[in-house]
A and B are shown apart, each in its own frame.
Chain A
Amino acid sequence: MVTAYRTASCGCCKGWLQHMRANGFQVRDVVVADLGAIKRRLGIPAQLSSCHTAQVAGYALEGHIPASDIKQLLRKRPAVVGIALPGMPLGSPGMESAYGKEPFTVMSFTRGGSVQPFSAHRS
């Protein structure tokens, strides 16, 4: 079960929820007024922030992460706080666009502040 936190007006968070559901995840959609407080509570590094935050099996999830990366996270169970796709890259799940696609890298982060590439997506 994925619990996703977003603000009411975000124009792309719902697209990510749909992507997660289409990939077999159960998603609880929680609309909050102060998303910053949730990010701080879950320990999301400010420079990795995006427009929505989620939790799954004790891991923090930030942004438009592909479901395949989340499945890999749950298989490997690395010793990290969570994974994040900072910003809102065009072409990432929920951000599909005829304006183009940008390469992006999902990062992992630890409580100690270490940020490492988790998976790179070229196209």
Chain B
Amino acid sequence: MTTRLHRRQFLFLGMGSIATVLAGGAVVRSMQASSRGSRPAGAPRLSSSAGELELDLVAEARAGTIPGGPAEVLTYNGRSPGPLLEVNPGDRVRIHLQNRLNQPTNLHFHGLHIPPTGSADNVFLRVAPGGSTTYDFTIPSNHQAGLFYLHPHQHGVSADQVFGGLAGTLIVRGALDRIPEVAAASEHVLVLKDFASGSGNPGSAMGMGRMLGREGPLLTVNGTLNPELSIASGGLLRLRLLNASNARIYQLALEGHTMQLIATDGGAIAKPEPLEELLLAPGERADVLVQGNQRGGSYSLQALPYQPSGHMGMGAMGRPAGSGSTLATLRYSGAVKPLALPMALIPVPEMPAPERTRRFVMGHAMGGMGSHGMGMGFQINGASFDPNRIDTRVELGSTEDWVIVNNDVMDHPFHLHTNSFQIVNSSEQLPAQRAWKDTILLRAGQEATIRVRFQDFPGRTVYHCHNLDHEDLGLMGVLQIDGKPS
């Protein structure tokens, strides 16, 4: 029996369902909502089987269930966040996206190294209301293990849809997961997302509108307010954090515990990096280990008040200062023989020397109100997004340094599609270790140099601010990668 036949025999039952495949008369569990680890109330996990993962993904508004939250939440398969997909390198992934929203949508596979074209990570696709499309791609056989992020990327409404609740996660399994100490840890995927309050958004009256990027007062983890995570005394937790918020930047701390960073956006780092605080901008991911080495009791995972850099003397423009908020509670329960931290993870190779350097300056300005201008908007190098204009043309296989300059009075997290990069220079603190990134926070007045190699996939894609209101207001450029796939 071929794998194609297997594929046709999948049943797609939607949210939380268990699909089965009949293989030669035997019932084989192929995708299931597993309960690996003691996760907080989370979305179902759909794992690939026999090299394939196929699912329906329905984008739809549903009645909100967050206490004090919005009346309506945008969901994938009835949930926000939507399903957690789990695949291996080499797997074929097919996602049948159905748009039951009242506006166009599409999907971006944030951080995945797959083609930016065709039915893969093509953000120029548009799925009309009531329409559907199938995303169909293969995870490269050498793809790094990591946590990746599915979200809509329809220019003009991406912030509405992400702020409204649309998000999904995708784990690529690999070498990092096989390191014995990492494998022994109990794994939790934590999707951090803020929601507007049900009484409307008082923030908008206080100026927290689209120019600053909309934030909501309800800070959820996997769609829940203050879920509980349990840890055994001596145990090891692996927290895989995603900031799936529209604009909110989290300054995270875990009361009483040091977080040991083991992976950034694009995959593992070389050795655990102890962190007392972790800054996570929209689109960024961090994978941390936490040792159950404190007295029993409960400890809060906190979002500390985030202090913008203030290079431009802005202070926290439009942002109430406030105190920290509890995102989740870590509770000790039981005891195990103490688990050790890994000594070494996965080496991160140094990138080749860059063949050229480019400069990207982000800011906001009047673009003129005529037929070609949009008036006030965000710009890169003086131009707001135009899908019909190529801003940057690079050669497949080449390595470049991109100097990203935030010349604005607010923070901008810069995100590049298709290829991960390394941060090689910064006007602020450089990362302690070489690391794979696809999103880098640039505070007001900051500049940083990223080194990127355009590998494997030619085609047209984008780079943009991951404060998605800023992206919708023009802070995006078109990248054309010229060349032939090897």
Chain A stretch 32-63: residues in CB contact (< 8 A) with chain B = 32-39, 46-51, 63
A88 at the binding interface (Cβ < 8 Å): yes
Contact partners of A104 in chain B: CB under 8 A:
205, 207, 209
**B352-374 toward A: CB 8 Å interface, digit per residue (1/0)?**
00000000000111100100011
Contact partners of B318 in chain A: CB under 8 A:
47, 49-50, 86-88
Q: Is there contact, CB below 8 Å, between B364 and A96?
A: no
Contact partners of B375 in chain A: CB under 8 A:
96-99
**How far does the Cβ of A51 sit from chain B's closest Cβ, in whole Å?**
5
Q: Is there contact, CB below 8 Å, between B208 and A49?
A: no
B346 at the binding interface (Cβ < 8 Å): no
Number of A-B residue pairs with CB-CB distance less than 8 Å in the complex they form: 125
B120 at the binding interface (Cβ < 8 Å): no
Output the nearest chain A residue to B473 by Cβ-Cβ distance.
Answer: A99
Contact of A88 with B321 at beta-carbon distance under 8 Å, contacts A9-B409, A39-B315 already known? no
Chain B stretch 161-215: residues in CB contact (< 8 A) with chain A = 204-212
How many angstroms between the C-alpha atoms of A33 and B472 in the bound complex?
A: 30
**How far does the Cβ of A26 sit from chain B's closest Cβ, in whole Å?**
22
**How far does the Cβ of A93 sit from chain B's closest Cβ, in whole Å?**
11
Pick from B207, B363, B365, B369: contact of A86, CB below 8 A: B207
Contact of A99 with B374 at beta-carbon distance under 8 Å, contacts A9-B408, A50-B207, A86-B207 already known? yes
Q: Is there contact, CB below 8 Å, between B207 and A12?
A: no
Contact of A98 with B317 at beta-carbon distance under 8 Å, contacts A15-B366, A87-B209 already known? no
Contact of A49 with B408 at beta-carbon distance under 8 Å, contacts A97-B376, A98-B369 already known? no
Output the nearest chain B residue to A99 by Cβ-Cβ distance.
Answer: B473
B220 at the binding interface (Cβ < 8 Å): no
**How far does the Cβ of B378 sit from chain A's closest Cβ, in whole Å?**
9
Output the nearest chain A residue to B361 by Cβ-Cβ distance.
Answer: A9
B458 at the binding interface (Cβ < 8 Å): no
- Can you report 27 A-B residue pairs in the complex whose CB atoms are below 8 A from each other? A9-B363, A11-B364, A11-B366, A32-B313, A36-B313, A46-B316, A47-B318, A48-B207, A51-B314, A51-B409, A86-B206, A86-B318, A87-B206, A87-B207, A87-B209, A87-B212, A89-B207, A90-B209, A90-B376, A97-B375, A99-B376, A99-B377, A99-B473, A100-B210, A102-B209, A103-B205, A104-B209
Closest 7 CB pairs of A and B: A87-B207, A35-B313, A86-B207, A87-B318, A11-B365, A97-B376, A36-B313
